A and B are shown apart, each in its own frame.
Chain A
Amino acid sequence: MTAASDIRQGAALVVIAPPQWAGELELREPPGPDATILMMDHQGGATAFSGKVEYGQGIRSGFSLAIADELDLPLGSVSVILGDTAMVPFDRGTVGSLSTMTLGMQIRRAAATARGALVTLAAERWLVAESGLATSEGHVFQTSDTNQRVSYADLLEGKNLQLSIPDDTTTKQAVDFVYMGKDATRTDALARVTGQAKYSHDIVVDGMLHGKILRPPSYGARPQQIDTAGSERIPGFVMVVQEGDLVGVVCEREDAAEQAVDAIRVRWQEVQELPSDSDFPGLLKEKAKEMIVLRESGSPADGFAQADHVLEGNYFVPHVANAPMETSAAVATWDGGNLIVWSGDRSPFGVRDELASALNISQDNIRVIAPEVGGSFGTKGTVEVAHEAAVLAKAAGRPVRVVHSRAEEFMWGTVRPAAFYEIRSGFNNDGKIVAWEYTGYHTGDRPQRGQRGADTPYNTPNVRIAVADSASPLRTGSYRSLGCASNHFAREIHMDEIAAALKMDPVEFRLLNLSHPRLSRVLHQTAERFGWETKRDDSSIGIGVAIGYDAGSFVAECAEVTVQRRNVRVQRVVAGIDCGMVVNPEGVRNQMEGSIIMGMGTALRETVEFGSGRLLNSVFSKYRVPRINDAPQIEIVMSGDPTTQSTGAGEPGIVPIAAAIGNAVSDVTKSPVRNLPIVPNLP
Chain B
Amino acid sequence: MQLLVNGKTYEVDVDEETMLLSVLRHDLGLTGTKYGCGDGDCGACTVLVDGEAKNSCITPVDSAAGSEITTIEGLANGDNLHPVQEAFIKHTAFQCAFCTPGFIMSTVALLLRNPEPDDRQIRAALTGNICRCGTYVRIMQAAKSAAEQSGQQGGK
Q: Are A626 and B95 in contact (CB under 8 A)?
A: no
Assess whether B35 is in contact with A201, with CB atoms less than 8 Å apart.
yes
Task: Give CA–CA (A594, B81) in the complex, Å.
Answer: 26
The reply to whether A628 and B126 form a contact with Cβ atoms under 8 Å apart is yes
Which parts of A612-661 form the interface with B (CB within 8 Å)? 619-621, 625-631, 633-634
User: Of A201, A598, A620, which is within 8 A of B34 by CB?
Assistant: A201
Q: Do B35 and A372 have beta carbons less than 8 Å apart?
A: no
B24 to chain A, nearest CB (A): 10
Among B25, B97, B101, B134, residue most surrounded by chain A Cβ atoms (within 10 Å): B134
Are A325 and B42 within 8 A (Cβ)? yes
Query: Which A residues touch B129, using CB under 8 A?
Result: 627-628
Min CB distance B64 to A, Å, is 16
User: In the docked arrangement, what's the CA distance between A405 and B134, Å?
Assistant: 22
A235 to B13, CA, bound (A): 13
Determine the chain A residues whose CB is within 8 A of the CB of B81 once the complex forms. Answer: 190, 193-194
Q: Is A255 an interface position by the 8 A CB rule?
A: yes
Instruction: State which size class the interface on B falls in.
Output: 35 or more
Give the one of A185, A594, A626, A628 with max B CB within 10 A.
Answer: A628
Indicate if A21 sits at the interface (CB-CB under 8 A): no
What separation, in Å, do the CA atoms of A619 and B130 have in the docked complex? 13
CB distance from A405 to the nearest CB of B (A): 6
A593-B137, A627-B130, A628-B136 given; A195·B30 CB < 8 A? yes
Q: Is A327 an interface residue (CB 8 A)?
A: yes
Nearest A residue to B101 by beta-carbon distance?
A195
For A197, the chain B residues whose CB sits under 8 A away are 97
Residue pair B22, A593 in contact (C-beta under 8 Å)? no
What are the interface flags for B124-156 relative to A under an 8 Å C-beta threshold, 1 for contact and 0 otherwise? 101101111111111110000000000000000
Contact residues in A for B133 (Cβ distance below 8 Å): 56, 325, 375, 594, 598
Q: How many of A's residues come within 8 Å of B, CB to CB? A: 57
Answer yes or no: B118 CB below 8 A from chain A CBs.
no
Cα distance A374–B129 in the bound complex, in angstroms: 15
Contact residues of A between 248 and 276, Cβ < 8 Å to B: 253-255
Let me know if A255 and B22 touch, CB within 8 A.
yes
- Taken together as a complex, chains A and B put the C-alpha atoms of A620 and B85 apart, in Å, by 26
- Residue in A closest to B98 when the chains form the complex, CB atoms: A374
Interface core residue of A201, A325, A593 (most chain B CB under 10 Å): A325
Cα separation A41 to B97 with both chains bound (whole Å) = 30
User: How far, in angstroms, from A373 to B97 measured CA to CA in the complex?
Assistant: 9
State whether A620 touches B22 (Cβ < 8 A).
no
Given A194-B85, A201-B34, A625 and B130 contact (CB-CB distance below 8 Å): yes
Q: Which of B39, B88, B89, B94 contacts A620 (CB 8 A)?
A: B39
Inter-subunit contact B72/A195 (CB<8 Å): yes
Q: Which B residues are CB-close (under 8 A) to A591?
A: 95
Q: Which of B94, B95, B101, B123 interacts with A629 by CB under 8 Å?
A: B123
Nearest B-chain residue to A191, judged by Cβ: B97
The 10 sampled A-B contact pairs (Cβ below 8 Å) are: A55-B96, A193-B101, A195-B73, A195-B101, A196-B32, A375-B98, A626-B134, A626-B136, A627-B127, A628-B129
The 4 residue pairs across chains A and B that have the minimum distance between CB atoms: A195-B32, A597-B134, A56-B96, A374-B98
